[in-house]
Amino acid sequence: MGSLLELNIERKLSSIIVDNAATNDRMIDFMLLALDKNDLILGGQKFHVRCCAHILNLIVKDSLSVIGDLIANIRESVIFWSKSTKRKSTFDENARKLGITSGRKLVQDCPTRWDSTYLMICSALHYKNVFCRLNNIDGQYKCLPSEHDLQLASALENDLKCFYDCTTLFSSSSYPTSNLFLRHVCDIRLCLNE
C-alpha cells in the first residue's frame, strides 16, 4: 500500500488482479479499507479481479481429473521407456527404425502441473507407433495405451493446446495481457465447440 501512495496512484486504480489465495483476499480487504471507495470504479465492488491464468489452470486441472486413468496409463508408458539408459536406447532405436527421428524426447510430466501433462501427451502421441511396436517386442511392457485411449488423448491434445497457448500468454510478466483476454477466451470457446 505504501508503494501506491508513494507513487501517487491510489486514485488511479481500477482493479487488482491476483490468484485465489486466502492471503490475497486479506490483502484486498486491507487495501479496500485504506482506499477511498469513491475513487474506485463501482465503489470497489469489482476491485478484486481473479487471475485468468489461475482460473484456466483450475478449470483444466478439474477436467483432467475426470480422465486420470488415461493420463496415468500414458505416464506409466513414458516412465517405463525413460526409466533406464537401456530402455531409452531401445526406444530410440525403434523410433529410428520407424523413421521417427524428430529429435523430440519423451516428456515425463509433473502430475501437479497440467501444462507438463499436456507436453507429455504431445510427446507420447508423437511416438505412439513406437509404443505399439515395443509392446510386441518387450514382454515386460504392460501399459500400452489402447487405440481408444490414444484417440481420446489426440482429441485432448487439441483442446489442451488452446488452454496451453492462452495460459502461456496470460502468464506473461513482460507485457500487459488484459487487452488480449476476450479474444483468447473466445478462441477457447471455439476450440471446445469444434
Rounded average pLDDT over 63-83: 93
Higher pLDDT, 52 or 74: 74
pTM (predicted TM-score): 0.78
Q: What pLDDT was estimated at residue 104? A: 83
Cα dihedral: 81, 130, 105, 187 (round 10): -120
64 and 29 fall within a common domain: no
From CA 93, how far away is CA 1, in angstroms rounded? 59
Q: How confident is the model at residue 77 (pLDDT cuts 50, 70, 90)?
A: very high
Q: What pLDDT was estimated at residue 141? A: 92
183 and 114 fall within a common domain: yes
β-strand pairing of 48-50 with 16-18: parallel
Rounded average pLDDT over 1-12: 70
Domain that holds residue 32: 2-50
Rounded average pLDDT over 141-159: 91
121 and 28 fall within a common domain: no
Q: What pLDDT was estimated at residue 1? A: 64
Structural domains of the chain, count: 2
From CA 132, how far away is CA 144, in angstroms rounded? 7
Task: Give CA separation, 152 vs 67, 72, 124, 188, in Å.
Answer: 9, 13, 13, 18
6 and 90 fall within a common domain: no
